[in-house]
Amino acid sequence: MKKLRCDQTPAWAALQAHFEASGKNFDLRQAFAQDEQRFSRFSLTAPHVFADLSKNLIDTDSRALLLALAQQCGLAQQRDAMFAGELINHTEQRAVMHFLLRKPPLAQAERAQAAIKNEANLAPELAQVHATLDAMLAYAEQVRGDAAITDIVNIGIGGSDLGPQMAVLALDEFVTAGKRFHFVSNVDGDELAGVLKGLKADGTLFLIASKTFTTAETMANAHSAKAWFEAQGGRDIGRHFAGLTTNVAAAQAFGITTTFGFWDWVGGRYSLWSAIGLPIALAIGAAGYREFLAGAHAMDEHFRTADLADNLPVQLGLLDVWYRNFHGFSSRSIAPYSSALRRWPAYLQQLEMESNGKRVGSDGQPLPFETSPVLWGEPGTNGQHAYFQMLHQGTSVVPVEFVAVKQAAHAPHDLPGHHTKLLANALAQAQALMRGKDDAGGHRHFPGNRPSTFMLLERLTPASLGALIALQEHRVFVSGAIWGINSFDQWGVELGKVLARDIEPRLQSGDVSGLDGSTAGLLQRLR
Ligand code: F6P
């Protein structure tokens, strides 16, 4: 049976009618006044994460219609196809199985998991996952016990940087004393030079993190790091470099003898659960890393088994569709009220915009509706003193996604009052966005009725962070599945890479033949 495109389903038409009839005039203040149960009606609990969705522009009718849309788009079947290891990344003919990286070994899981269709087919991959994980964690423990290694430099970009960097910062409370972590991603030599100037070759471990081991920025930085290491008198590349890649042969050709592999069914932006997660394991230890995986696995099970109505990634993904395609909201602001989560917005940008920033459906035909919103943000309370003005009084409505943590990350050393002030600000901003303020004077008028989601963690731990990340991965899957796009390729990043290879020698030679006037003019000025 041919799958209907989402905008051709009866549910889409019904959502449109509902939006016109009442959805576009929905008022949060009235909704709370009319329904004392609204908070509990629109809150969901998932492993490690409580989410209050009640300050969103939804009612029970829109929620029911969005669920009907999910059914008519075959969301559950698409999800099950991913968990069964089908080649859902069809433009690259690959399965999408990052969930397998956090699944316990089969022996332990067997009974509980027996119901998964086709699971037996994934047993060989799962065995490989655990063999690699065990080796990587043994290595991590060895390095952690090696007092001579004081600095770990991760060289990688995109998914080989953003996830590990975000997680190492987020889990700072759990990071072993005596090791410093550095992340170098940009081809801008200033970044690598800035890190190297504080280091000594015999105290440094370089991790060359690249799924493909071909990415231009990473290769340039890796070669420069190796040259620096040798110029400092460093000899033992085996001890001071490790390669994290699916292309073990290329890492070996580079001269790296310590390598940890992974597989083409792990997308770059989903790879922090694989060998790419080594910096996290070095930071928090093998046991902590296993807890991180376990938190994510708990969220996988929630996504795989909870009713769609109670399924947090499903409800968030459907809300994203409601906002993007019916309300027409073009961006979402990410507001982690935790400075430990300061790279959370950057991490989510790649996860969502590289996954769902697509203009064609699975059949390659242009889509007549919008897909990924723009994600942006800064940690609270900093954002309040920068762009929250626009969120409260600007002409566009931007849904805000708060993340707050009940206990301060450094609870035992919590400076008196800080965490309470931080949480008060998060609650107050969400409240102010919704409530608004009437003022005849105009300039002091806040329209209010501005939506937000509020996510709450008890504490930022390896397990809760793992769950929070997996929640976002699955939420992106949900909107992508409704839109009928391939969320797992990224062809859009290729053209610029190819053109840069053409331009680089021209910057030396000055050859501008065949270039457009602007590129030629800029190139000449830059020479
Ligand atoms: O340019 C985009 C991209 O392919 C991302 O998807 C990926 O995370 C990043 O580059 C880095 O790729 P690699 O890990 O192969 O170096």
Which of 211, 358, 486, 495 has most ligand 1 atoms within 8 Å of its beta carbon, as the pocket-test mutant? 211
Neighbours of 324 (CB within 10 A): 23
Q: Whose CA is nearest to atom 4 of ligand 1?
A: 268
pLDDT (tens digit, 9 = 90+) per residue, 237-263? 999 999 999 999 999 999 999 999 999
Both structure tokens of 190: 């200033």
Distance, in Å, from the CA atom of 347 to the CA atom of 305, rounded to the nearest integer, reads 26
Distance, in Å, from the CA atom of 409 to the CA atom of 390, rounded to the nearest integer, reads 30
Distance 350 CA to ligand 1 centre (A): 10
Both structure tokens of 399: 């849904």
Backbone angles phi, psi at 421, to 5 degrees: -65, -40
Distance 435 CA to ligand 1 centre (A): 42
Catalytic residue among 352, 354, 378, 401: 354
Residue 335 pLDDT exceeds 70: yes
Distance, in Å, from the CA atom of 488 to the CA atom of 267, rounded to the nearest integer, reads 7
Active-site annotation holds for 385: yes
Q: In what helix (H) or strand (E) does residue 489 lie, and over which residues does it extend?
A: none
CA angle, residues 462, 464, 467, in degrees to nearest 5? 105
Radius of gyration of the chain (CA): 24
Residue 114 is predicted with a pLDDT of 47
Window from 65-69, 412-416, 502-506 with minimum mean pLDDT: 412-416
What does the pLDDT average to over 171-182? 92
Distance, in Å, from the CA atom of 455 to the CA atom of 404, rounded to the nearest integer, reads 6
Band of pLDDT at residue 409, cut at 50, 70 and 90:
confident
Q: Whose CA is nearest to atom 10 of ligand 1?
A: 158
303 and 314 in contact (C-beta within 8 Å)? yes
The four Cα atoms 305, 311, 316, 319 give a dihedral, to 10 degrees, of: 110
SS3 category, 372: coil
Residue 112 pLDDT exceeds 80: no
Residue 286 is predicted with a pLDDT of 97
- Mean residue pLDDT of the chain comes to 95
Q: Whose CA is nearest to atom 6 of ligand 1?
A: 268
Distance 315 CA to ligand 1 centre (A): 29
Band of pLDDT at residue 177, cut at 50, 70 and 90:
confident
Q: What percent of the chain has pLDDT over 70?
A: 96
Distance 164 CA to ligand 1 centre (A): 14
Distance 103 CA to ligand 1 centre (A): 24
Locate the ligand 1 atom nearest the alpha carbon of residue 354 and give its number: 6
Ligand 1, pocket residues at CB < 6 Å: 157-160, 210-212, 215, 218, 268-269, 354, 490, 493
